[in-house]
Each structure stands twice: as C-alpha cells, then as structure tokens.
Amino acid sequence: MTGQPNPGSIVLGSCGPCQPRGAAAQARLEAAARCAQVGSLVASDWLTYLRCCLAAWVAMTHLLDWSVDQLRSWFRARRLPAYRGAQVYRWLFRQRARHWDDMTDLSKSLRAELADCFRLWTTQVARQIRAEDGTEKLLLELADGQAIEAVLLRERGRRTLCLSTQVGCAVGCTFCASGAQGIERNLSSGEIVEQMLRLQQLLDRSESISHIVVMGMGEPLANLNALLPALALARDPACLGISPRRITISTVGLPAAMRRLAREAPQYRLAVSLHAPNDPLRNQLVPANRHIGLRAILTEADRYYRASGRRLTFEYVLLQGINDQPEHARQLIRCLGRRTALVNVIPYNPIAGLPYRTPSARVQAQFGSILRDGGLRVEFRQRKGSSIAAACGQLRRAGHPAPGRAAPSKNDPDLVGSQRDPAGPSTAHHGTGYLEFDRTDGNQVQR
C-alpha cells in the first residue's frame, strides 16, 4: 500500500529487563514482530498490524514504575556507569525534560536504547483548567482510555500537588464525586508519579513543588503497593527531593493498611477523614464505615502517631443540617479526647446532583468555636479551586456525573446518637467493585 511505512523498519523494544511481564504481553509482542516481517499487507492486515504495534507499545516498561536504584541496576547490567540512573531522573524532575532527546549529556545511541526499552509517558493531558485563585486542574487520559484528575494548588509560597491513586473510588462517600461511579482500578506507581511531572510542567522555572497531598481520586491506603514506591521517588534527591514532613496521605480509615503504614512508612503525615463524630451518622455519610467503625480507626490512628511522632489530622466535611450542629461538635470533642491532633474543617464544596449544602458562615464559626473551647486545634480549609470543580470531593472521571443521592435526614435521632461497636461483614459493596476494607493492608481487592 503506497504511503505506508515499511513494517520491517519498525523496531520493538526487546532488551532483557524491558521484556513485558506475562505470557499475554509476550504474545502481543511476538504477534507484532510477525506482522513486522510481512513484506506487503492488505488493508485488513494493516489494521491488525497497527493494533499489534499498539499492544506492544503498551507492554513496554513505564520508566516511572522503576526506582532510581532499579534504573542504576539496568545501567550496570549493560556495563554502563550506574550514576546514569540518577542522571536520567534528574533530567525528568530537575530539568523537566519531556523527551529522551532533551537529555543532551546522554549519547545518541544510549537515548535510542532507552527509547526502545522504556516509555516516558503513559498519559495525555485531555483538558487543563485554571481558576482565578491560581489553582489548576488536569484531566489525564490513561493508556487504557480511563481518566483521572490531578490538581496544582498555589497558596502564597506553597506549590502543592493533589494526587489521585485510583480510577474512581470504592469507599462511596455520599457527598463526594470521585466514587459516584464506583471503582475501575488502581493506578500504577508510574501513573501516580506521572501526575507529579504533569503538574510540575504547569510551573514557571522559578517555581518548585513544596508539598504533596494524596487527596485526589481514590482511597490511598487501598493502593499502598503503588503509592509507597511513588512517594519514595518523590523524596529521592535525584527527583523532587521533598521532605516526608511535607507529604500528607489522606484515608477514610482502613485499619490493616494503617497498621502497615505505621510499620513501613511512618515518616509521612496522616490525615484521617472522619466527617462524623459517631458511627450511625458516619455509616450514612461513609458507607464503608459500617464494616470498620470509628473505634478501630482511632485505635490505628493512635498507633500511627506513636510510630511517627507526627501530629495527626482529622478531616471533617461540614454539611448543612447534617453534621454541623453544636451537639455534633461536642461529640467530636469527646470522640477525639486529648489526642495531639488538628481538626481540619472543610466547608462542603457543592457538587451538581448531590443534595448537600454548605453551612452558613455563622454556623461554621459556631462549630469551630465549640471545638476550640473544647481544647481542639482547628483550621478551616480554604476553598481553593471550587470554581473549576478542583476542590475537596469534586474530582471525578470525565463523563461520569454524580448521580442523585438522598442526604441523611437531620431529624433521625440515631444520627446524633452515641458511638457503637463496629459490626457486620468484612466487605463493602459500591459501584463496580468492592473492597475488603477491614482486611486489606494496602492492595485493593476488586471483585
């Protein structure tokens, strides 16, 4: 067919550590290689060939899935200086290189070999939006066609990244857009790191990333196997070099995963999303709580505090007429007791299709005053990015609007009742999948 490239001229990466994992991926590569050996193709064969090449490309190793040490080992295996591993990552994170050819102190042949073995990017920026307050949001299309959102927050001297860890969310908080359509899958470590690079590209050369909050789409502790390597890369001096004190992981509270975090990575700041001072109300707002309970969550939060020595943060989305009454504030004081903690009160950010409203300024002030009088340290989160649906609870997959949901009745006496012990089965269903909430230690099981 005239005007078509010679299939035999297309080179597929096939070097040792870059071989795709699994028989299916290997079969795709072999099919593409067979197609590449065909001298001439009819139209239907050409389409098959292109599909095979695409599958082979998807099967290539994503560089950002590798640590700096792993890349050093890759260079050593080729009898090349191991320092090249850190050099490549410095190009990406420090020099903000976008292509292999930008790495001008690597030889042309080495850049070609890297390009054959590794994919630099697996996402595409489908949409970029900027708010008047400087907040920017990216809609990123993933290699499999799924989409996530990530946010850059600007506040005085801070430049904070808000990262997603899953496509969707299985927790199902009734006031949040992220889990409106359930969970599709976990993100890979590389897909989490790539959000950092994509957001960094929005900064001027004079600006640098100062903080990371893992508060985007998904439940971070349900994907610890990918999150922890991604954050380790963010901390690496060759990469962003961010102090763990400036990295906050938010969780709805998965006890087994919280124990694992205390054991393996106590250096980060932990923020526990409470949103209610008692189990009956939290069961309504955070359905996963029916299978966990506040008592278990607070026990593991205390364990993390002992392991880390870092002050805990408890997040509380304030919903008009639902959890914003003086009695709720007094219950929250009793719930948290004398813990060394900060209560981060988040006035609700409106989401189309959901029945909740933001409390008035007077109600917000009264709620905060009661907490402070009770000995708690309180901060109200600034509503940055709400005009572009980039604020807390507003991130979602493209094309997946939040369905209508009924708000808990403020007249239900159980919703201001006392805490009760957790009970019920160990699985929480929502959307397209479910989590084994009280058993997972950071690798979500979807059924």
Active-site residues: which are they? 149, 392
Give the ranges where 286-358 is alpha helix by DSSP (H): 294-308, 326-336
How far is residue 364's CA from residue 295's CA, in Å, rounded to a whole number? 26
How far is residue 264's CA from residue 219's CA, in Å, rounded to a whole number? 18
First to last CA, the chain: 46
How far is residue 296's CA from residue 280's CA, in Å, rounded to a whole number? 15
Q: State the DSSP code for 412.
A: -
How far is residue 46's CA from residue 137's CA, in Å, rounded to a whole number? 38
How far is residue 142's CA from residue 83's CA, in Å, rounded to a whole number? 31
> Considering only CA atoms, which of 189, 195, 97 is closest in space to residue 150?
195
161 burial level (CB within 10 Å; 0-12, 13-18, 19+)? buried
How far is residue 415's CA from residue 427's CA, in Å, rounded to a whole number? 23
DSSP sequence for 64-99: GGS-HHHHHHHHHHTTS-TTHHHHHHHHHHTS---S
Instruction: State phi, psi for 15 to the nearest 5 degrees.
Output: -80, 155
